Amino acid sequence: MVKIGDFDLDAKPAIVSVIDDDPAEDAKAANWLGANLLELRLDLLNLSDLDEMKKIIERIKSNTKLPCIATNRIQSDGGKWEGTEDERIALLIDVLPLVEAVDIELSADEEQRSKVVDAAKEANVTVIISAHDFETTPPVDEMKNIINEAHNAGADIAKLAVMAHTKQDVLDLLQATNDMEKPVCTIAMGEIGKHSRIVAPCYGSLLTYGVIAKAVAPGQIKIHELKSAMEILF
């Protein structure tokens, strides 16, 4: 069984909303629009003070009751974190008692990544290990190897986002998704891969990411549109 907080991902896929520069208001809007989970992008919040972070998360929880995923994305994986790697990892570990899941990059230093994974397991927090390719869609076998590597590194959910340039790229990602036996989240970024955010859950992707208003990744779809599609498919 795979859960994030009380949300059972075996029962149906979840719509995740990214919360960034106005977290309390974004969270309320995401909840109203139909999001199931919230991703707190710590690298976009411009906060380094843990007490302030706690207050923000407490406000979000009191306003929405939605489970939260903490992410502190490094620049190589599309993030905006500007501090040191030690500071980035420490902040992720510090917020673990306040969230239901954590997302750490496969590309992160193995020792640093393991610190987050071990701390999350101890705190009973779901671990997402993510990989991003903003340029291409690798061959199917290579994508499956990346996903397996994430699981071997301790992921409860292996997340893979690739850039699609052709319809075949999208089909390849869906094939890799369908072939996996362990929990995955897969996304084909870009306009040509936009529909993957709706159909990938049909092939086994447990999470799909939507936006309130402005996209933070190529090809993202608004939450209420995803909700309508998910209600038809699931």
CATH of the domain at 103: 3.20.20.70
Cβ burial of 2 (10 Å; 0-12, 13-18, 19+) is middle
Q: Compute how many other C-beta atoms are within 10 angstroms of the C-beta atom of residue 121.
A: 13
Q: What are 38-88's pLDDT values in tens digits?
A: 999 888 876 657 788 888 888 888 889 899 999 998 888 787 787 888 989
End-to-end CA distance of the chain, in Å? 18
| Structural domain range at position 85 | 3-233
C-alpha to C-alpha distance for 39 and 8, rounded to whole angstroms: 17
C-alpha to C-alpha distance for 109 and 122, rounded to whole angstroms: 20
| From 54, 115, 132, 224, active-site residue | 132
Q: pTM higher than 0.75 for the full model?
A: yes
Catalytic residue list contains 167: no
Which of the two residues, 219 and 188, has the higher pLDDT score? 188
| From 3, 61, 144, 159, active-site residue | 159
Q: What are 172-210's pLDDT values in tens digits?
A: 999 999 999 999 999 999 999 999 999 999 999 999 999
Q: Give the pLDDT score at 47.
A: 65
Q: Give the pLDDT score at 180.
A: 97
Catalytic residue list contains 224: no
- Based on the structure, what is the number of domains in the chain? 1
Q: Give the pLDDT score at 39.
A: 94
Per-residue pLDDT, averaged over 92-117, amounts to 95
Block residue for tokens 């690739």: 162
Q: What are 114-166's pLDDT values in tens digits?
A: 999 999 999 999 999 999 999 999 999 999 999 999 999 999 999 999 999 99
